[in-house]
Chains A and B, each alone.
Chain A
Amino acid sequence: MDFAIALWLSQDAVTNGAIYALLALALVIVYTVTRVILVPQGEFITYAALSLATLQAGRVPGTVYLLIIAGLAVIVLDAPALARRKAWGGFMASVGWNALLPLLVAGSAWLSASRPDDLAVGVLVTLAIVTPMGAMLYRLAFAPLANASVLVLLIVAVAAHYLMTGFGLIFFGGEGLRTRPFSDLQFQLGILNITGQSIVIVAASVILVVMLAALFGRTVYGKALRATAINRVGARLVGISIQFAGRLSFALAALIGAASGILISPITTLYYDTGFLISLKGFVGAIIGGMTSYPLAAIGSLLVGFLESYSSFWASAFKDSIVFTLIIPVLLWRSLTTQRTEEDEEI
């Protein structure tokens, strides 16, 4: 391996690492707020990437129908409790978020499919399809289990992953799809050949992270999420709704997953079930960060990016095995250096 290849691999590593870092952030947000290990995170990636590819092929993706059905299910589940409390305002809000919004999205998806060359509209519509799904997923699968053990939440997360993968296969078939690149730009920087797509990915990741930092640092919603993450009971006592925090964190995770999917879809061929492996690598990054620290999760994800990039150069067939095997010593080091007290353990 010479220096040029090393640099080229590093560029690849940073590009992938940036995506894993985004996913790791999403997993950390969801885990700290709801104790759910978000196994279906990968489905948000594939749903977004393949929905965009379908739009670019001039068709309305099946995810739109899923959004409408899931929204109706939420209304049906919410209605009895709201009716009992005679909370008509709440009912109207539920109809607005879960019926009108999906219909609006469906309309714009139809428009977007008729203009397949408009990249910006396609991206926006895709984000609008996937993001509300996060909140609906929380409401349908996890909200009834707010007091369940981490193990039960994990099992439900795996079941939701199965469910969503199954839908993915129906919507998109078994064929792999790619979207058109955001930029055909390529230029030399010294001996390094830089592609526009890597710049887009890294820049978009940085922008997303800055936006998240602003959300968490400056807005009352972000602060509510942070409060819930630090102490669920305490947050509840000061009037933060656990359900609201759960929906918000899941919607954020879906948004981040969708953005990641859109960013990588021009450089990687995605299949209906590819998302799982990608998010698993984000998970590894998050775990290196101990599932609670955002900066450490980001650093861990970059490490995963480098491991993957270099191992794909040496032995590409075993790329994934190598990543997961080399992670073990890192985990060992983490678990030996982290002082855990008994009271911290969630049972």
Chain B
Amino acid sequence: MHRCLRMALVALLFLSFRARAGPPASADSDWQEGRLPRSVQEGTPRKGGTLVVRIDQEPPSLDKLTDSSLAIDWMLERKVLESMAEPDASRHPEYPLKPALATDWTISPDQLTFTFHLRRGVTWHDGAAFSGKDVVATVRKILDPGVRAMHLRNNFVDLADISTVPGDDFTVVARYKKPYFLAFRALATLQIYPAHLLATAGDMLHSPIHRAPIGTGAFRFEEWKTGDRISFVRNEQYWGRKAYLDRIVYRIVADPAVGFQLLKQGRFDLYVQLQPQQWLRDLEAEGLKSSVHRIKFFNPNYNWIGWNEERPWFSDPRVRQAMNYAIDTEGIRKSYLFGLDRPTTCHFYLESSACDRSLAPRSYDPARAAQLLDEAGWRGRDADGIRVKDGRPFRFTFLMNADSVFLEKLTPYLQQELRKLGVQMEIRKVDWAHFVKLVEEHQFDATSLRWGNTDVVQDPYEIWHSSQAKDGSNFISFKDPAADALIEQARTILDDARRNELYRRLGRLLHEEAPYTFLYSRPSLDAVSRKVRGIRPSVLWYDFREVWLAPR
């Protein structure tokens, strides 16, 4: 009997030891993949507590109207400021719209008139009442040429008129000059500002709401201590289900090594943007596996190498394809990027149906590259062994942003690979502010950048339409009538599925023409404390309205 008891005790100890020693196998695969386990969404939410979030950069302001910065979107959208409709974060990767400040809406058959019915009884954080006047005033502010709202104004160029219905401040009607699929989404998800404060806000830059926003959201702005922290508190007057968290504190810690030490000390509940080696190795090596979950999530972004088609070397698609074959993108991904980034061949969000998944990246094939260069007429060689065509040697300059760690590794490799093919590549490094100017002015032969977006629905017009080579973001001057036709046609189609069919065709065309060498989509690598519940990564970042803290 005695012995039995002891054996049971040992077994019990062993079991409890196992339970403590590590989560079961499935949890381990979650850890490996950077997925949050199901348990994070379970349990009864509990009110209270402060969520401390590490961010690495201080936003320039807390003003969506004047600044387009990711940190501003993270802190404000859907948390502090709200829109008439919002993308449904639980429906990845389509993110259809669901009601927010509007309860419902209608779109006229000609797709030119949008009518929004607004929620009643909503109040601003300063106590004033919300109405359609706020929506109208926000759009007017964006259209005001004295306000630095260029990044938002683009979405409203075709707006003919927006107003509330006479006698009904809770119905907003917007009329457009021509049908445009993004017009509706842009207006519906526009973060609304209070009209009574906009009236005196001038160019926004000198207004109190530039740094201390007033919204209708579940969290109110509390305090901004420059260089240190920005905090928000729960809005007790919120119209919807009130948030569980008492407070959110964003701590600005620029240095990644210091940030990691603070994470080890348990100072953060959510750590945004770990470095790849920290995420892959250090978290586990430093014993943090028992206190945090790893999160790896792909937002709409990709980096690319662009070949300037105004330059004599890159006007021929065969040359651009050759450049593609000359780069061992898979090898680079494994050796320089820890295999974390995902290869992509698509301009759109890689998990969206706008991408044709059957298009595989061109694999490394120097023989094919040489053959294509021959076919394109680059057959001659000069005294240095550099290919020549019509007396012009194949010598070009690769312009790069001097801060890029990735390009710092990629460009010497590329230089070496191209030299083997008889192509001479020089590397020019300039700082970011100078780089942006040179790229905008098309003063480069080849360069590399990353496009990022915060919505899965996007219009390729600004980047790929031939008209955008002047003044738009078509920096490489890609001009193709078939592509133009697809892009223009897609702009009039509101139905996602039908539009995405056109985008898949555009994708196949871009793959053939190879104006870019599409590289990778980069994941966000985050870590979240195991006591944080209800958290869910999405392309809209995290929604703290749902988050609560489990007791320890």
Whether A and B are associated in the same complex: the answer reads no
Residues of chain B touching chain A, judged by Cβ–Cβ distance below 8 Å, are none
Residues of chain A touching chain B, judged by Cβ–Cβ distance below 8 Å, are none
